[in-house]
Amino acid sequence: MSRSCSTSSARSRRRSRTSCAGSDDPRGSSAARQRRGRLVVATAALAVQAPLLLRRAGVRRPKRIRQAHLDLVMMGTIQVAVGAAVPALPLWIAALIMLCAVVQPLLFLPLAARPGLSRARGFRALVAAVFAATSVG
């Protein structure tokens, strides 16, 4: 778990944990986050601008895509707030928050194609587990 940071002060090392090369940031690389963000924005735009195209692709509830998009935006805001409020967060808590902040909104996407999935026990158990893990983090 070595890092190759070239920072000049302890303050800058504390302030910027994720700017180091080789960082073990649980969120993944910045480029990967940007690609995920662009994909979600493009899909949400399709839900608004071209719902018939999505229906041809098997999406029965395009509003669930918009719901996932808005939830991802809110979770991102929460991540920024937590990072600003608690900069020295233990890695396991940060990883749990980051994982759940991505998985929880994405659970709306299967409901876009299969609305009846919300009644399935397995899906409900998964949603409850992710919600509980988010609360623990």
Please report whether residue 64 resides in a domain.
yes
Please report whether residue 67 resides in a domain.
yes
**Scanning the structure block, which residue is given the tokens 């994909």?**
39
Please report whether residue 11 resides in a domain.
no
Q: Over the stretch 25-81, which tens digit does the pLDDT of each residue have?
A: 545 566 766 676 777 677 777 776 777 777 887 888 888 888 888 888 888 888 888
Question: Is the predicted pLDDT of residue 17 greater than 70, yes or no?
Answer: no
Please report whether residue 49 resides in a domain.
yes
What single-letter DSSP state applies at residue 116? G
* pLDDT value of residue 19: 41
Planar angle of CA 43, 93, 40, nearest 5 degrees: 5
Please report whether residue 132 resides in a domain.
yes
Domain assignment of residue 38, given as a range: 29-136
Q: How far apart are CA 79 and CA 83, in angstroms?
A: 6
* pLDDT value of residue 50: 73
* pLDDT value of residue 129: 93
Q: Over the stretch 21-36, which tens digit does the pLDDT of each residue have?
A: 444 454 556 676 667 6
pLDDT averaged over every residue in the chain: 75
Q: Which residues sit opposite 21 in a β-bridge? A: 4
Q: How far apart are CA 63 and CA 128, in angstroms?
A: 22
Instruction: Specify the number of domains making up the chain.
Output: 1
Please report whether residue 8 resides in a domain.
no
Structure tokens belonging to residue 3: 């890092």
